[in-house]
Structure 1
Amino acid sequence: MPGATINGPQPQLLFVDGSFEDLSREMAEYLKSDEAKQLLSEEKAAPKEEVLSKLVAASSALSTVPEKEFTAASNLMIHLAMQSSDPKKLLPTLCSNLAKPLINSPVHGAALALNALVTVFNLLESNDPVRARVLMEILKFLKVHGLFDGLRTYLDKLPEWIVSWGIDTALERKIYEEVAEVALESGEETIAYEFILKALRTFDGEGTSSEEAQRLSLRALKMAILSNTHFLFQDLRAIPTVQALSDSQPVYSQLLDIFAEQDLEDYNDFNDEHKGWVEEQKLDAEKLHRKMRLLTFASLAATTPSREVEYAKITKALQIPQEEIETWAIDVIRAGLVEGKLSQQRQMFLVHKVTYRVFGQKQYQELATRVDHWRSTLQNVLVVLQQEQANAKAAKAREAQELERKLANVNVGGQEGGRRRQQQRERTDNDD
């Protein structure tokens, strides 16, 4: 967050000197709160909580103060509010007022206001459940001002914080949904979807069929099928609240099943069965159709034991002319669903790697078929290698035998020549 950091408890963040009465009078004068000034002017000391209530109510005036005075004034107001015996009654209103646009600071106003909100958060003990309420105000502020990047580094800490606060599941769910809203506002669809799923997982028992659970489930479903990057739906279908859509939203549930594990032909049948429904629901028909083609391509690649998909099968499954195969092959590879390449000469798409959309009994059978195919291929290769090895061994033996024969002939010839030369020498000696 620009100029602000969410940390653990920091009791010394504010350095304010003076008694409660003196500081309250100063704040009342600054905010021009007649009600607070009236209470503080009475001879008998007014109850602290009543004074604080009036000051917090008047704190909306902080949005009109000069830019250079805002930080000091907001820090003093925060310090006073923290003197309450029950700050949680005051902090939601104070945070709401601190989050208002600063009229005199159009450039730096958002950063200044966020600093004030984060100061409130950091002054609270790390396990104080009031922190959850303050965080909600911070999240709303971040959404309005499109400051999601400031929250990104703290998302991993959020589950730990929520556990330490001991808040109820309803508030936990609201926090997750608000984080999703902030992410979505900044175009972070993947993170938004992740936190919607976190919110859905907070429902249990009869709550899975509640109106709120079904609302969130339907929202998650729409986000998933319309996403340009989300192609696997098993995580979504495993959530009980989403499973309950089969009763509350049977058509949406049917559509989810198609995107999870069926193909383009099934999607076209769905559209024929529910004519005009996609348009009525304001879903992007073109985007859905394109996504189903990519998913169908992935399924086709996954169910081919030989890892070679004929062009004819692609054109039939995707319902496209052959000249578009290259475009769709590029798109399915970019989507991360398949790795492979086209062989124009063989009119094949050669699959190197594929992502399974689902992995159940059917997929295990397909994998078993593929393993059997590979085993058969390897056995054939082994037979060929063994035969070649035997042939090489026999050839080597023949070569060795031939060499031995030649060597034997050389030795015999050498001995015969020696005898002849000896006889010639003997005849020569006799003549002499």
Structure 2
Amino acid sequence: MTTVVPTSEDDLSLSVVRFTSELAWADAGPEVVESQVDRLCVEAQECMVSGRWLDLVSLMLTSADLIFSKVSDKDLECVFTVICNAVTKSEDPDEILEMAKLISAKIVQQPNDRPALRLKILFNLYNLLDIPRGRFHVYMKSLNLAINGKVAEHIVPSVKKMDSFLKEWSIGIKDQRELFLTVSNVLRENKSSAKDSFKFLTKYLATISGEDAHEMNAAKEEAVRAVVEFVKAPDMFQCDLLEMPAVGQLEQDAKYALVYQLLKIFMTQRLDAYLEFQTANSASLKSYGLVHEDCLTKMRLMSLVDLGSSDPGQIPYGLIRDTLQISDDEVESWVVKAISAKLLDCKMDQMNEVVVVSRCTERVFGKQQWVALRGKLATWKENIANVISTIQANKITEDASQAMQGVMIR
């Protein structure tokens, strides 16, 4: 096997050109190989002398497809390290971006051939770039490679840094939209990341306003997916989907109106509404992969949450029984389920058969909930101010009392 043995940065690039061209022309005979290799090496030297780094990258990538099929992982990584390093030579941001596009396009051409290694090469390229636009482009290529090559687990950890990435890249709404949807699709491939996938899907939908009819229409399928994923999720009980125009458009859509109706039931109504809907639309629910028994369980919990929100303080056992359509013996077990899911903070008064609620999760957190929260914070602030005033008054009284005692003693 041919081995690249560099002695300087220029030698590195020439070695790669020689290495790849020898592979490309190996079947043409010694004389042809020698002439072609010499020609390509001269061309590479001219590119380096004149500072035409994009042309040099293009030249080194000419036989890249052969590299992937004929060399070891170690040699392949070595070759692409040299190619990627060319982005550090230029001072022109546009040229750097074009080099990054050219290299990343070549790397992702065959995602099923050693995808993990290809992804590693892309990460190396990302780290060598110092222009935000180039980094964003390479990261997007990495996401798509992770999906197509089925190696999502290798890129999932990077998603945790998304906030810092967005700050660094400073990308517009259109790019954010593409990013959020792609990240959601990557996380969707990883079953343990279902919640994060849903989070980025809602971020995507939130970027779409009613002003762009084309984007609204393109988002319908994803809006439906978001609704179905929310209803399916056994541990998600709160979302902002109803407030998003991309989801709201489903209400008047002939094909998807039932999906919107189902979401509205889960977010604003109780079990009886769901059972009525399910009776009339059982086939539609099955077509979306929704299981009635799972929906029933979730809807009972959400109905119990609604009781806690609508009737703060105390909820009679009988009201829970009737709302959840269960037996008397099951009331306490459903309250325990709600506590375990962190939907309620409460105590069960078995003597008086009431549930005393101290905190309840809101299914929808919109304008009304913000107003209520503002009122609670204002009350809390006033109470704290009163406590501070009382403490200060007591301190003054105590200081005065101690002063009087000192006078009496003297």
Fold-level match, TM-score > 0.5?
yes
Greater relative contact order (Cα < 8 A, sep 6+)? 1
Q: Structure 1 counterpart of 2:311, which letter?
A: T
- The whole-number CA distance in structure 2 between the counterparts of 1:197 and 1:114 is 27
| Bigger-Rg structure (1/2) | 1
Report the counterpart of residue 407 of structure 2 in structure 1.
none
Deviation at 1:320, TM superposition (A): 0.8
CA shift digits 1:140-161 (9 cap, x unpaired): 3444222245314422223223
Alignment of 1:226 with 2:232, yes or no, is yes
Report the counterpart of residue 14 of structure 2 in structure 1.
22
Match of 1:61 among 50, 63, 66: 66
Report the counterpart of residue 76 of structure 1 in structure 2.
82
Identify the structure with the greater helix proportion.
Answer: 2
Deviation at 1:285, TM superposition (A): 2.0
- SS of residue matched to 1:282: coil
Deviation at 1:16, TM superposition (A): 5.6
Are the equivalent residues in 2 in contact too, given 1:98–1:113 (CA < 8 A)?
A: no
- SS of residue matched to 1:353: strand
- SS of residue matched to 1:342: strand
Distance 1:15 1:183, change over 3 A: farther
Report the counterpart of residue 195 of structure 2 in structure 1.
190
Deviation at 1:194, TM superposition (A): 1.5
Q: Structure 1 counterpart of 2:235, which letter?
A: T
- SS of residue matched to 1:199: helix
- The whole-number CA distance in structure 2 between the counterparts of 1:361 and 1:24 is 61
Report the counterpart of residue 201 of structure 1 in structure 2.
206
Alignment of 1:135 with 2:146, yes or no, is no
Are the equivalent residues in 1 in contact too, given 2:13–2:83 (CA < 8 A)?
A: no
Question: What pairs with 1:289-368 in structure 2 (closer than 5 Å)?
Answer: 289-305=296-312, 307-358=313-364
Report the counterpart of residue 157 of structure 2 in structure 1.
150
Unaligned runs of 5+ in 2: 1-5, 48-53, 374-410
Report the counterpart of residue 94 of structure 1 in structure 2.
106
Deviation at 1:274, TM superposition (A): 2.5
Q: Structure 1 counterpart of 2:187, which letter?
A: A
Match of 2:216 among 210, 219, 227: 210
Distance 1:294 1:97, change over 3 A: same
Deviation at 1:172, TM superposition (A): 2.9
Report the counterpart of residue 387 of structure 2 in structure 1.
none
Are the equivalent residues in 2 in contact too, given 1:197–1:236 (CA < 8 A)?
A: yes
CA shift digits 1:170-225 (9 cap, x unpaired): 44322211211222222212211121122123323124763321122112212222
Alignment of 1:236 with 2:228, yes or no, is no
Are the equivalent residues in 2 in contact too, given 1:81–1:91 (CA < 8 A)?
A: no
Report the counterpart of residue 388 of structure 1 in structure 2.
none
Are the equivalent residues in 2 in contact too, given 1:16–1:79 (CA < 8 A)?
A: no
Match of 1:282 among 286, 289, 298: 289
Deviation at 1:366, TM superposition (A): 11
Are the equivalent residues in 1 in contact too, given 2:181–2:201 (CA < 8 A)?
A: yes
CA shift digits 1:276-329 (9 cap, x unpaired): 221122222222111110010111122225x22222211110011112222211
Same amino acid, percent of matched pairs: 22
Unaligned runs of 5+ in 1: 1-13, 103-108, 368-432
**Which segment is superposed worse, 238-247 or 336-345?**
336-345
Are the equivalent residues in 1 in contact too, given 2:205–2:223 (CA < 8 A)?
A: yes
Are the equivalent residues in 2 in contact too, given 1:27–1:76 (CA < 8 A)?
A: no
Deviation at 1:31, TM superposition (A): 4.3
- The whole-number CA distance in structure 2 between the counterparts of 1:254 and 1:239 is 15
Are the equivalent residues in 1 in contact too, given 2:228–2:288 (CA < 8 A)?
A: no
Deviation at 1:333, TM superposition (A): 1.0
